[in-house]
Amino acid sequence: MKKIGIMTTGGDCSGLNTAVQRLYRAASLRGWRVFGILDGTDGLCTTPPKVIEFNEETLPIESARLAGSFLHNGHANALNFETAVEHGKIEKFNQKLRESLLELKLDAIVLIGGNGSLSLAWCNKEIYNGLQLVCIPKTIDMDIPLTDKTIGFDTAVQQLTSFCDQLMMTARSHHRWFVVQTMGRDCGQLALNAGIAIGANAILIPEIKFDTDSLISHIKKSFIDYGIILVSEGISLRGHSGRPADMISRKLTAAGIVNRTAFPEHTQRAGDTVASDRILATRMADCAINAIENNETYVMTAIKDSKCITVGLNEFFNAGEISDDPRIPGVQTSDAFVSPENPLLQIAVNMGIYIGETK
């Protein structure tokens, strides 16, 4: 009888609980025992490790639609990769993770995480020696290489779209523009997709250079005097500091354009999981369990050409843009970004949305 562990790490998002519940269901049908590691790597740093064994009542099917992670994703001030490097304890930290996994006597572990978590798993793969490691990509940023979809993205787009839909009505009432700052870090996928959904007047993302004078001219020429300007949190404005939405807002105000800023913040990572994310989580859970059954290891589930497949973690890592992790000295992460060939960019232009200085 196989024993598998499930761990969620990094930021939370909708779809995590669906993936966890479906993993348990598929594994239990095979007669396997399933253990949930609580609080991510925090749970592996305690003695004994913080785990629960799943049964039919642990995570009921009706709760699997909820946002966040039933297993939790860790404490802000606990020892983790970031704080371990900061305090010179990374070797001790890695050793403790390894010891805890050996103590649990697992055959396999499913790690559900973002690009940072998956990059760390590959760069510290010795922690998982003797275990099958299968990763499932989740992030509202959609910045993970080699997969066309990540768990949580569709729900985040819907959450952001709903937020802007409500603002649009008050914008119309007051003949006012709203500058809405989205999450996404250095990737503009969330802003781009939500912007297309709501019919934004402008979408500013890190991957496309923009000119504030062109933006202002575009808004002034608009056939209406209200609307939404979506600003991804990763953009920069030379010579200015502060939150990106505030920087753009000040420029608009100086040009005589009445506007307000709005920050949906963590509501983008909340909300009942939409159907497409539930389906994606189920497909990836099924793929992960099949990978364990087929003795695969150091792999990630991925959607490519509408098929759910596994790709090597080495392939994932080398396929993206590798950069130094800004929070963990000496550690690198692999990132994906909005491609210049993304069809939504041209669609935005065709729909009269200012997207930046595109060719």
Supply the residues annotated as catalytic.
141
Decide: 95 and 8 in contact? Cβ < 8 Å. no
Decide: 123 and 316 in contact? Cβ < 8 Å. no
258, two tokens: 């009445």
**Torsion of the alpha carbons at 232, 234, 235 and 241, rounded to the nearest 10:** 120
CA distance linking residue 311 with residue 304, whole number of Å: 10
Decide: 231 and 182 in contact? Cβ < 8 Å. yes
CA distance linking residue 235 with residue 180, whole number of Å: 13
> What secondary structure, in 3-state letters, does the chain show?
CCEEEEEECCCCCCCHHHHHHHHHHHHHHCCCEEEEECCCHHHHCCCCCCEEECCCCCCCHHHCCCCCCCCCCCCCCCCCHHHHHHCCCHHHHHHHHHHHHHHHCCCEEEEEECHHHHHHHHHCHHHHCCCEEEEEEECCCCCCCCCCCCECHHHHHHHHHHHHHHHHHHHHHHCCEEEEEECCCCCCHHHHHHHHHHCCCEEECCCCCCCHHHHHHHHHCCCCCCEEEEEECCCCCCCCCCCHHHHHHHHHHHCCCCEEEECCHHHHHCCCCCHHHHHHHHHHHHHHHHHHHCCCCCEEEEEECCEEEEEEHHHHHHHCEEEECCCCCCCEEEECCCCCCCHHHHHHHHCCCECCCCC
